[in-house]
Amino acid sequence: MIRKKNGEGFYRTLALSKFAEGKIYQLKIKGKKLIAFKKNNNFYVLQNRCPHKNNGLENAFFENNCLVCNHHNWKFDIDSGIARISRKYKLIKIPFKIYKNFLWVKTTS
Ligand code: FES
């Protein structure tokens, strides 16, 4: 699925046209497990790891402006990534850019 890396270290992932609103897609880049989704016409890329117990977020769901982990129903604001239950828990956002109708994702190292 991940085909190409540009000179800035971004990897080409899915075509923007593939994204359905509110559907979570799993990505794997250089062994790193990520999720990507489009919500309210904005794109998000996160580590596929809930900060509560480190379970995957591929089966999370949305409630208002929150991503809800399906394991223990913790809610995270999708813009800030901060957990509603405690500000000390936060989703890890991954840098990305939109270029030539694809979502390009950058992973560290
Ligand atoms: S692992 Fe996500 S809420 Fe517990």
Pocket probe for ligand 1: among 35, 53, 75, the residue whose CB has the most ligand atoms within 8 Å is 53
Does residue 2 belong to any structural domain of this protein? no
Better pLDDT: 1 or 67: 67
Cβ of residue 69 lying under 6 Å from some atom of ligand 1: yes
Confidence class of residue 3 from pLDDT cuts 50, 70 and 90?
low
Cβ of residue 46 lying under 6 Å from some atom of ligand 1: no
CATH number of residue 70's parent domain: 2.102.10.10
Position 9 scores a pLDDT of 86
Distance CA 11, CA 20 (A): 20
- The string of pLDDT tens digits covering residues 45-104 is 999 999 999 999 999 999 999 999 999 999 999 999 999 999 999 999 999 999 999 999
- Whether the CB-CB separation of 62 and 39 falls below 8 Å is answered with yes
Q: Record the pTM.
A: 0.92
Distance CA 47, CA 36 (A): 9
Domain count, the chain: 1
Angle at Cα 43 formed by Cα 92 and Cα 46, nearest 5°? 20
The two three-digit tokens of residue 14, written as one number: 């899915």
- Whether the CB-CB separation of 14 and 103 falls below 8 Å is answered with yes
**Mean pLDDT on 12-30:** 96
Does residue 5 belong to any structural domain of this protein? no
Position 2 scores a pLDDT of 58
- Whether the CB-CB separation of 48 and 56 falls below 8 Å is answered with yes
Range of the domain at 84: 10-104
